[in-house]
Amino acid sequence: MTGWRALLYKETLRFWKVGFQTVAAPVLTALLYLLIFGHVLSDHVKVYDSVSYTSFLVPGLVMMSVLQNAFANSSSSLIQSKIMGNLVFVLLTPLSHWSWFVAYVGSSIARGLCVGFGVFVVTALFTHLSFAAPLWILVFACLGAGMMGALGVIAGLWAEKFDQMAAFQNFIIMPMTFLSGVFYSIHSLPEVWQRVSHLNPFFYMIDGFRYGFFGVSDVSPWVSLGVVGTALVVVGAIAVHLLRIGYKIRN
């Protein structure tokens, strides 16, 4: 039991020691998004009848920050350890693949939730938010962070240099995040793009998370829960399998 705890502590300490970069910087970025988009579009965009655009924007920014930072935590840790050569010290330990998975994904969840909470505290000062279903907020935040942490493990194992990791993040993670309904409701899109949005699992994470605040969403929260839960199981299973066979780290 002490092995995975030590690795989890090490991974958590890794991002916390540079908290100004890993926590404070994403919070500032989300605040800038709120100030710019909220100021420009607040009088031009109406999403829900009882919810202002600024209020609508806050949960999306919080969840976007959770997802992006959970992915960045596990992926950056693995790729840096592989390139710098210090991953061998973890490989020398008798830790199982499950210990690796719990430690890397657990620290990713911790960083994602930490950044998300910081974004919420700062952005909540600019608008009024309700809590229609707080349990849904916690569930989707944890499931989303866990799924992205597992995806970060896959990306970190696959990438062999920083260029590949940057391509993975810029061409997969960022587009799927921004096209998930962070800044808009999908009902404002043409029908064909609404259908495309329903193929994006990030949309269900953000929509279900937003339901916890307002009690309204574009799709049923139970549907979102099913999609996000399935995505977590599938991505997690792939990450565990790659760790078990030592994909690109044992040869």
Task: Taking residues 55-70, report their average pLDDT.
Answer: 92
Q: How far is CA 138 from the centre of its chain?
A: 13
Task: Look at the chain and report how many structural domains it folds into.
Answer: 1
pLDDT given for residue 50 in this prediction: 73
Asked if residue 107 is part of any domain, the answer here is yes
Residues 6+ apart with CB under 8 A from 70: 108, 109, 111, 112, 144, 145, 146, 148, 149, 152
Q: Quote the percentage of the chain above a pLDDT of 90.
A: 59
pLDDT score for 8: 94
Residue 1 has pLDDT above 60, yes or no: no
Is residue 56 a part of any domain in this protein?
yes
Tens of pLDDT, residues 70-126 = 999 999 999 999 999 889 999 988 999 999 999 999 999 999 999 999 999 998 888
Q: What is the pLDDT of residue 46?
A: 65
The answer to whether position 8 is within a domain reads: no
CB-CB contact of 202 with 228 (8 Å): no
Domain membership flag for residue 250? no
Please name the residues in contact with 171: beta carbons below 8 A apart, sequence gap of 6 or more. none
Enclosing domain of residue 212: 13-245
Structural domain includes residue 2: no
Residue 6 lies in a domain: no
Which pLDDT does position 185 carry in this prediction? Answer: 78
Say yes or no to pLDDT of 48 above 80. Answer: no
* C-alpha span between 184 and 25 (Å, rounded): 24
Q: What is the mean pLDDT of residues 218-244?
A: 95
pLDDT of residue 13 exceeding 70, the answer is yes
Q: In this predicted structure, what is the pLDDT of residue 76?
A: 94
Q: Say if 251 falls within a structural domain.
A: no
Q: Which residue has the higher pLDDT, 155 or 198?
A: 155
Q: Which one has a higher pLDDT value, 50 or 45?
A: 50
Burial of 74 (0-12, 13-18, 19+ CB in 10 A): buried
Predicted pLDDT of residue 251: 64
Please give the single-letter amino acid code of residue 37: F
Report the pLDDT value the prediction gives residue 43, as an integer from 0 to 100: 64
Helical pair 97-123 and 221-245, crossing angle rounded to 10 deg: 140
Question: Does an H or E element contain 177, and which?
Answer: helix 174-178
Q: What share of the chain is helix, strand, coil (3-state, %, to 5)?
A: 80, 0, 20
How far is the C-alpha of 27 from the C-alpha of 132, rounded, in Å? 24
Looking at 3-7, 48-52, 58-62, which range is the least confident one?
A: 48-52
Could you tell me the two tokens for 182? 């962070």
Distance CA 24, CA 39 (A): 22
Whether 217 is in a domain gets the answer: yes
